Structure 1
């Protein structure tokens, strides 16, 4: 195991993922496309690189890959921390917060009130608005606009509903300790009326946070719309710690009804793998989708970390990256609707590629074309091996093993010898996800960065995201089998940075 000393920690700064310059970040907030720019707001400590002083940081991008850090958007003060929320484009100025010529962007966020406030100890929902494209924000004088007198009512995601029940704003938020999503409606973003609640259901091993609700066509059929409700929980994920789950069903403008609920009330630990997970890895949390994206695309982004060890990861002066942006679709798989996910990547980044076909693997086989930042696309055809896969970011002594066990129907990531794992007792792990063959083969699309690996298996049917902290010299890629042989039908390694 290699100990990574402080001077090398900046070597982990990602090339393909957003991280702030020198501060802490966690949940993505207020994701929106507006006038040619994608805006990423996020939970941010402007004064340090551990959690605290929660404010909304801000970054912008035109391509979802290269991000420019902007000044803090909405700052904490002596009365409130600024917890998670969302941003909408109030095109028709229903809120009245526009200036008469420009329709406002309106942020709906959780005020976590401090002792100095008349609402001390309460979490309630508040507004801020911007008329300069999301760069400067003013808090609404009438905050909070929705108060349940609860200490754990948070994370509002707001969208414009237009359906049989009418046209109005809908908010989904959580009562975190009750494992419940609560839904409200408003005509002006200021006055809110209760609609309904959902939960507890499926995974309830930790508090519920950061919900989202959106429609998607099933199997590309615009006449067959389903609604997807996502909710993140901490802890209680399929491999431990933080994770995100989702439900698929119907929303009539008032009530969400799930058709994919496995258990109601308290979760059944024996059925954990039957639930629908946004990602099976340890480091994909607080995922929410962008608003106002052209062509109706549904794009999501998450915090790439885990609350078990989030404050301790060995990076400096920054701490925590975001995931790649993913486009999500809804498909029928084994008779049930499931999300599939594809990483959004700029084609211009796909330049230097090494390709192989029809490789026989028996034991360990090194391949040329490794790197610290790359896209690996591989298709395996099983043979007699009990397990086969790749070792990435390897240097002969260390590496991250990505394996497939066809007999068990599992995908695995082993980061026990991936580099620096000693910074926290919960980090070293072997994490798994269910994986079935398609047409007798297994295809993986793997994005490797300086401190992470994001795996999209079987055309995005299964995803698994993990942080890693390898020795910077470890850039090798090897194929391996154990207990027999396998074949690599195709392998492409593309340098991304």
Structure 2
């Protein structure tokens, strides 16, 4: 395995958010308010390893350019500030508003430290802001919900309006029980238990960071279906951290899944059949934004894996976020499936190169490869057993990240064993597999976003995604198409995202 000493900020992403000089992990409190997207996140304000959990904060007007703000909710001598969510309390149900201004209310997990009256437990607490999400005040009555449990965490809160009434709903997890617990509240301070979901499907690791929301099926607003997402560590389809989703119904009290393949603990042989948010090794703790206009559902995840999270070779920062994704629901072979597309804002100011059509029989170099770009490519199979491309390759062809398709087995392959620096942890060099089937016309479409430390792949219009960290040398910018055992054709466009330098 190769291990190198990078120069300062060698891998700092150009099109993904990373903190300036500290550690980050799970996105928290995602909310749109008064024209601004707020990204809060788990943050160590004092270093670049997981510790001193607080809520970091970044803001954006366009989902692309993020400005880091001062720490929003810091840890203190009694508690670490674990994951949670933010809502806009438009009706001031909490009473935290002032002068007719609706407050933002953060619902987060207090991880109580030794010496605290609640030491050894995790419980749900609230804080509020009346200045648009920059200054926060903790509620004196915290915690507002406790089970006297050491692993009760990650509350996602939303406003339910349906046949059962109008009230706040919280989904949280008992992490080691593989369960999602649902509660309701009128005022965000007093909570009543509703129901429990799980265990089901993937239970190869603890459950964390749930989310529950509605989506229209096939764009039909009259056919709305509920989606429950839950992240899991370890036990992902390609190792380590991952997220899964369930499709079903929610009646205001109970979520019932229509897509659970296994009840109780998982069947190891069925893991590839579960519905995964992402098939890569570096998309975790994904949750959606609240209060986005026009019913748009946007999601972002932490781009790392707990197997090696504290060891990735970045300095002084550690860990980026994924791109923001637009989420929708479509029918595929009669079954509802999530579609994930990069938010169109990512390409809003980009320049597309000319359409290139190439026949591949072995290797075909492509001019225009860079360290930061988007690649739109459509493959038409010929006789090849496998075809694809190598991104961020070295000039001598010995290094790069291979993205391939095996049509006979229906597999998308992402091989980062020669991607650059892979020697910092034994679990990092790896090959990930995801299911892929030809489109109706027999082709395969990939939309690939390449950055200084990552590749994000959206296959067949977002039906499957694969997110992987990579750590290549800055000089590795070559792009090569390849086929093995025969031929294939490709049509591709290279898209300049205008952010080559980090």
Cα distance in 2, alignment partners of residues 348 and 252 from structure 1: 39
Cα distance in 2, alignment partners of residues 402 and 320 from structure 1: 23
Cα distance in 1, alignment partners of residues 380 and 428 from structure 2: 31
Kept in 2, the 8 Å contact 1:106–1:130? The answer is yes
The match for 1:457 is 459
1:395-415 deviation digits (Å, cap 9, x = unpaired): 122100000000110001000
**Could you say what the CA RMSD is over the residues aligned between the two structures, in angstroms?**
0.8
1:10-41 deviation digits (Å, cap 9, x = unpaired): 12000000000000000000000000100000
1:41-88 deviation digits (Å, cap 9, x = unpaired): 000000000000000000000000100000000000000000000000
Cα distance in 1, alignment partners of residues 8 and 241 from structure 2: 24
Which structure 2 residues correspond to residues 309-328 of structure 1 after superposition, within 5 A? Answer: 309-328=308-327
The match for 1:392 is 391
1:437-457 deviation digits (Å, cap 9, x = unpaired): 002000000000000000000
Shift of the alpha carbon at 1:350? 1.3
The match for 1:39 is 38
Q: What is the total number of aligned residue pairs between the two structures?
A: 494
Shift of the alpha carbon at 1:352? 5.0
Cα distance in 2, alignment partners of residues 495 and 223 from structure 1: 39
The match for 1:356 is 356
Kept in 1, the 8 Å contact 2:2–2:423? The answer is no
The match for 2:430 is 429
Alignment of 1:17 onto 2:16: yes
SS in 2 for 1:311: helix
Question: What TM-score does the superposition give when structure 2 sets the normalisation length?
Answer: 0.97
1:80-126 deviation digits (Å, cap 9, x = unpaired): 00000000000010000111321100000000000020000000000
1:229-264 deviation digits (Å, cap 9, x = unpaired): 000000000000000000000000000010000001
Kept in 2, the 8 Å contact 1:373–1:450? The answer is yes
Question: What TM-score does the superposition give when structure 1 sets the normalisation length?
Answer: 0.98
Kept in 1, the 8 Å contact 2:372–2:450? The answer is yes
Cα distance in 1, alignment partners of residues 16 and 364 from structure 2: 30
Cα distance in 2, alignment partners of residues 352 and 207 from structure 1: 43
Shifted more, 94-103 versus 453-462: the winner is 94-103
Shift of the alpha carbon at 1:4? 2.6
Which structure 2 residues correspond to residues 141-156 of structure 1 after superposition, within 5 A? Answer: 141-156=140-155
Moved over 3 A (4+): none
SS in 1 for 2:90: coil
Cα distance in 1, alignment partners of residues 116 and 64 from structure 2: 40
Cα distance in 1, alignment partners of residues 213 and 15 from structure 2: 27
Q: 1:477 aligns with which of 476, 479, 489?
A: 479
Alignment of 1:126 onto 2:125: yes
The match for 2:495 is 494
Kept in 1, the 8 Å contact 2:249–2:255? The answer is yes
The match for 2:172 is 173
Kept in 1, the 8 Å contact 2:18–2:318? The answer is yes
The match for 1:56 is 55
